[in-house]
Amino acid sequence: MMENNFVMPDENSLINLSSDMFNHFNLKVTSETMNLNYKNKKLCFILLDGLGWNIYRKTGIKFDNEIRGTSLFPSTTSNVLSSIFLNKYPGEHGINGYLVYVKELGAVINILGYTSSASYIRDSMEKAYPINKIFNFDSKINQLNNAGIKTINIIPSFISNTSFSNLLYGNNYTDTFSNVFHSFYMLDDDLKKNYDFVTYYLPYIDQTAHKLGPYNEYTVETARYILTELYGIIKKHDDYDFIITADHGHVEVNNIINLSKDKKLDDLTTIPPYGDARSIFFNYSDELYDYLNNNYDNLLLLKNNDSLYKKLFGKLDDNILKKLPELIGVSKNNDLYHYPLNQRKYEMKGAHSGLLKDEMEIPILKF
């Protein structure tokens, strides 16, 4: 049963935005578009990780063409970026959590780093099993290049040429930056080079919100500063249409619940809980379901044959359905859930991946 305070992906979701952008270049798309009616052929897509509608509103900035859009479920970076750049619903690609169980590897994987969730060595799984053999999808960026559309991606240097980035962007040309100021220069410079499609990804609002919380004055000022600087760049390039959006927002964390301290739960799980902090994935058993239902009142439990489960994942590919989690617990309040797989200290003041308003509502700004 749907909680009253949950927000579902709607007609202004990020899959619709993805379809709108790639339809602009005459590619086949998976969903209805948003009919944003671009005035230029050239398009720049700016994704500010973690800029929820709540943070955007707190900045005090208001742009003329703003839409209160929705993220996808789970509202987490790996899931959303995969949906945007592969133009597939979450139920069509299966890259649905920060931690993903990959049967071919027999392990719970940090998918952004394509590495063991216990020992973070970036892309350590690539030699064992290349990521594109498991998630065998053609990036829409590749399709643009094949169609003769000139594209470039601007991303932080620490994620350049990684397994996950290569899955999203294919073999596209990428410019990298070392800090936020460098990123502004790279964006401004690349917009002068007559690319048809420019993508720009910035992680700093998300990083600050995780550390300080979404309503901390420094989080809000980070967002305000970035939006102000980007608007200055936008005004210099009227031969482009621009979209600014985010992959998700953040809730202010209440309690951090360490699931590993629940001995009974530990005994009932065949593999550790995985997924994300506010949408936890489990292998299903009747006994586990009953135990969670009786002891975790603030989790909404979704089985993979529930109608709401199927609705949240959008279109479902039969082959992907086999890889999706059998059971998901979605946080009903501002708590997050953690099952430590290493000795690193786990602290967050802002979090996401669930269905509450602050993590699901995002701005879609058109210039």
Tens of pLDDT, residue by residue over 225-262, are: 999 999 999 999 999 999 999 999 999 999 999 999 99
Nearest alpha carbon to residue 66 among 191, 231, 271: 231
1-42 pLDDT, tens digit per residue, is 567 789 999 999 999 999 999 999 999 999 999 999 999 999
For residues 79 and 90, the answer to whether their CB atoms sit within 8 Å is yes
258-284 pLDDT, tens digit per residue, is 999 999 999 999 889 999 999 999 999
Predicted confidence at residue 18, as pLDDT, reads 98
Predicted confidence at residue 93, as pLDDT, reads 96
- Domain residue spans in the chain? 1-367
| Separation in Å, CA 181 to CA 96, 158, 178, 244 | 31, 16, 8, 18
Residues written for the chain: 367
Question: Among the listed ranges 65-74, 243-252, 288-297, 345-354, which one has the minimum average pLDDT value?
Answer: 345-354
Nearest alpha carbon to residue 90 among 99, 79, 77: 79
Q: What is the mean pLDDT of residues 196-224?
A: 98
Nearest alpha carbon to residue 276 among 134, 97, 72: 97
Predicted confidence at residue 367, as pLDDT, reads 97
Predicted confidence at residue 1, as pLDDT, reads 59
The rounded distance, in Å, linking the Cα atoms of 201 and 191 is 15
Give 121's pLDDT tier (boundaries 50, 70, 90): confident
Predicted confidence at residue 323, as pLDDT, reads 87
Burial group, residue 37, by CB count within 10 angstroms (0-12, 13-18, 19+): exposed
Mean pLDDT, rounded, of the chain: 94
Q: What is the mean pLDDT of residues 178-187?
A: 98
Predicted confidence at residue 257, as pLDDT, reads 94
Give 318's pLDDT tier (boundaries 50, 70, 90): confident
Does residue 342 have a pLDDT over 70?
A: no
**Residues 6+ away with beta carbon under 8 Å from 51:** 205, 206, 223, 245, 246, 249, 362, 363
Residue 214: Cβ within 10 Å count: 29
The matching CATH number, chosen from 3.40.50.2300, 3.40.50.300, 3.40.720.10, 3.90.79.10, for 1-367 is 3.40.720.10
Which single residue is written with the structure tokens 């945007």? 84
The rounded distance, in Å, linking the Cα atoms of 366 and 168 is 23
Predicted confidence at residue 345, as pLDDT, reads 67
The rounded distance, in Å, linking the Cα atoms of 163 and 123 is 6
Predicted confidence at residue 224, as pLDDT, reads 98
Region of 35 on the Ramachandran plot (φ > 0 left; ψ -120 to 50 alpha; else beta) = left
Q: What is the mean pLDDT of residues 162-189?
A: 95
Predicted confidence at residue 2, as pLDDT, reads 63
Verdict on whether the full-model pTM lies above 0.85: yes
**Residues 6+ away with beta carbon under 8 Å from 295:** 262, 265
The rounded distance, in Å, linking the Cα atoms of 365 and 173 is 26
Predicted confidence at residue 171, as pLDDT, reads 82
Helix (H, G, I), strand (E, B) or coil at 300: strand
Burial group, residue 53, by CB count within 10 angstroms (0-12, 13-18, 19+): buried
The rounded distance, in Å, linking the Cα atoms of 38 and 240 is 9
61-107 pLDDT, tens digit per residue, is 999 999 999 999 999 999 999 999 999 999 999 999 999 999 888 88
